[in-house]
A and B are shown apart, each in its own frame.
Chain A
Amino acid sequence: MKEETVIKVEGLTKVFGDFTAVNKISFHVRKGEIFGFLGANGAGKTTAMKMLIGISAPSSGSANVAGFDVYTQTEDIKKSIGYMSQKFALYDDLTVKENIRFFGGIYGLSKNRISQKSNLLIEELGLEKVAHSLVGSLPLGWKQKIAFSVSLLHDPKIVFLDEPTGGVDPITRRQFWEMIYKAANNGTTIFVTTHYMDEAEYCDRVSIMVDGNIEALDTPKNLKTHFGSDSMNDVFLKLARS
């Protein structure tokens, strides 16, 4: 069975002035895969991701996301993807329901679809009690679960998560990953950056970026064998130090 490729990146580069943030990276992501995009702070993960989601124009190279070109078809890409940024990006001064309605609305969902989705989401996350509370008043872990669900509202083919579990307790992280698995089982491709190495173990495949280059790309298991380590943490340290 030939697996469908949803992200194709060839020699993608981003230069700011005389600083090369992303240096000719290339990789493919398959449909339904959980793809871990690892790297130290400042390695170029977020810059690379911003090019893929169409809010930053690449300097050179090519990339194709959900069948669309990152140079010319950014608006089509945006219809097919969901995104959750490391900066919490729901409106603090709107309630949970209002946030859902707003984002559903700008993705062009019908009114019925929005209220259906919104009820489902609130039920799944057990948010009945706080559905009419301002998002700003909720704990961070809740906010991030809501943000993830909101990024799935329009049933995107691919979801990009930029350090989604930063600053969250282990239990919530666990729950968060369960949500990710569920989405992946439904056929959604997950593209996630993180610097929690235990989370890297949950991914189908991981790439590790160092100083703008992708230094390694394989399944966690293969990477561990290749580097002769027993944890991803070790793999990462070996790569980052070399």
Chain B
Amino acid sequence: MRVILYIINKEFRQIFRNKGMLPIIFILPLLQLVILSNAATYEINNISFGYVDNDHTHTSRALIDKFRASTFFDVSQVFPHPKESDLAMLQGEVDVVLTIPEHFERDLWKDKNIDLGVTINAIDGAAAGVENVYITQIIKTFNKNLSVDMVQLSNNTVRPVLIEGIPLFWYNKTLNYKTFMVPGILVLLVTMITLFLSGMNIVREKEIGTLEQINVTPIKKHHFIIGKLFPFWVIGMGLLTIGLVLAKLIFATPMLGSLALMYFYTSIYILVILGMGLFISNFTDTQQQAMFIAWFFVVIFILMSGLFTPIESMPKWAQFLTEFNPIKYFVEIMRMVMLKGSGLTDILPQLVKTTLYAVIMNAMAVWSYKKIS
């Protein structure tokens, strides 16, 4: 047992002596948390909107004014001719172009029904879908006004039925993205730091040659692994704590559930990541290899965590793969405990899986540390 303390002491000294690393471990992640959390938003607004008005009538101007009045669209570009608007679209200066044909007003009165060309840059398919909904809504409202203005409501005696769909956004009434992203990005940062540090650790000693010196001592394998693991565990927990305080102070992130539960879960979660890192470290010959493998998994874990894109939309086999993604569990727990106030019984399935994962990863870390070649 005392042996572990000596290893922990040594690891801490080495970490804090490396002046070049300290800002990378402690400042860089927090800086990224504060800055990047603002970037991760799916909200679609400021859509760059352009139009070609070949009609120049009261109606065409009124329609464009509707778009101007909407907060979603940034009506900044007027094109004399579709050629110019096509070019602007290619150059990426405009994402939506409304083309009002000649005799638009005249034909509308004459035919009562007229098509209007809208061109949407659909490379981001999801955004294009949302933009299309906004456009349709604006035009629908405009249609109603048209009918009211021009005909003073028709002579219909039948009243239309109305189904009122009332959206209620629980746990996040204003659909504030930061409430959701700040804790998520914090998890990513803590995961990355702890995985990279632990992943490089043992293989670094291998490269320098000190590991051989350790191997000729009678040290027990699990003592060695625990001694290596603990300092990074402390760093991970510390980083999480500072991050949570910053999230509270700067972004007013809510904490509905039990803070103790959150910490309890995190303490197990970090063990999963560290076990994984030490396993990678034991398994590789050079730091370069270790980092590539760690990078490979981190990118997959991040992009398939459900933080940036929904897991439900993935194909079934990919959803199955996410069962092995620790970040997925953390993102789920964080949403549940922090934002919904879920309790221990609610998060039990994730907690059990994570604990199991931690046990397996660390057993593998101990197993893969070979004192004898």
**A residues engaging B (CB < 8 A)?**
50, 53-57, 74-76, 78-79, 81, 83, 85, 87-94, 98, 101-108, 134, 160
In the complex, what residues of A have CB within 8 A of residue B217's CB?
78, 103, 106-107
Known contacts A74-B371, A107-B218; A102 and B10 CB within 8 A of each other: yes
Q: State whether A85 touches B373 (Cβ < 8 A).
A: no
Please state if A54 and B13 are interface contacts (CB–CB under 8 Å): no
Say yes or no for B57: interface residue by CB 8 A criterion: no
The interface of chain B, by Cβ under 8 A from chain A, is: 2-3, 5-7, 9-10, 13-14, 17-18, 208-210, 212-220, 371-373
Cα distance, A217 to B210, chains bound together (Å)? 32
B208 / chain A contacts, CB cutoff of 8 Å? 87, 92
- The one of A54, A76, A89 in contact with B213, judged by C-beta atoms closer than 8 angstroms, is A89
Residue of A nearest to B14 (CB): A93
Q: Specify which chain B residues have a CB less than 8 angstroms from the CB of A54 in the assembled complex.
A: 216, 371-372
A-B contact pairs, 18 of them (CB 8 A): A55-B216, A56-B372, A76-B218, A79-B218, A87-B212, A89-B212, A91-B210, A93-B13, A93-B18, A94-B14, A98-B13, A101-B6, A102-B7, A102-B10, A103-B217, A105-B3, A107-B217, A134-B17
B9: chain A residues at CB < 8 Å are: 101-102, 105
Contact A105 B2 (CB under 8 A): yes
Closest beta carbon of chain B to A135's beta carbon, Å:
11
Cβ contact within 8 Å between B372 and A83: no
Known: A85-B212, A101-B6. 10 other contacts (CB 8 A): A53-B216, A54-B216, A55-B215, A83-B216, A87-B212, A91-B10, A93-B17, A103-B213, A105-B6, A106-B6
What is the minimal beta-carbon distance from A155 to any residue of chain B, in angstroms?
14
Question: B18, B210, B219, B371: which has the most chain A beta carbons within 10 Å?
Answer: B210
Indicate which residue in A55, A83, A94 contacts B371 across the interface (CB closer than 8 Å). Answer: A55
CB within 8 Å for A57 and B372 given contacts A94-B14, A106-B217, A107-B218: yes
- Give the 10 A-B CB pairs with smallest separation, nearest first: A105-B6, A87-B209, A89-B213, A83-B216, A78-B218, A79-B218, A102-B10, A55-B215, A53-B216, A106-B219
Distance, CA A104 to CA B220, complexed state (A)? 15
Give the residue of B6, B10, B18, B213 whose beta carbon is less than 8 angstroms from that of A83.
B213
Taken together as a complex, chains A and B put the C-alpha atoms of A21 and B220 apart, in Å, by: 29
Chain B residues in 8 Å Cβ range of A104: 6
Neighbour of A108 across the interface among B3, B213, B371, B373, CB < 8 A:
B3
**Is A98 in contact with B10, judged by CB distance below 8 angstroms?**
yes
Distance from A100 Cβ to chain B, minimum over Cβ atoms (Å): 11
Shortest Cβ distance from residue B3 to the other chain A in the assembled complex, whole angstroms: 5
Known: A89-B213, A91-B210, A106-B219. A55 touches B372 (CB 8 A): yes
The answer to whether A55 and B13 have CB atoms under 8 Å apart is no
A87 and B210 alpha carbons, distance in the complex (Å): 8
**Which A-chain residue is minimally distant from B11 (CB atoms)?**
A102
Q: A91 CA to B201 CA in the complex, in Å?
A: 13
Query: Which residues of chain A are within 8 angstroms of B14 by Cβ–Cβ distance?
Result: 91, 93-94
Q: A57-B372, A91-B10 are in contact. Are A106 and B3 (CB under 8 A)?
A: yes
Residue with the greatest number of chain B CB neighbours at <10 A, chosen from A83, A134, A160: A83
Cβ–Cβ contact A89 & B371, under 8 A? no
A102 CB to nearest chain B CB (Å): 5
- Minimum CB–CB distance for A14 against chain B, Å: 10
A6 to B14, CA, bound (A): 38
Q: Are A94 and B13 in contact (CB under 8 A)?
A: yes
Whether B13 lies near A106 (C-beta < 8 A) is: no
Q: A56-B372, A91-B210 are in contact. Are A78 and B216 (CB under 8 A)?
A: yes
Name A105's contact: one of B5, B13, B17, B210 (CB within 8 Å). Answer: B5
Given contacts A56-B373, A57-B372, contact A106 B216 (CB under 8 A): no
Q: How far is the CA of A205 from the CA of B164 in the complex (A)?
A: 100
**Residues of B with C-beta under 8 A to A101:** 6, 9
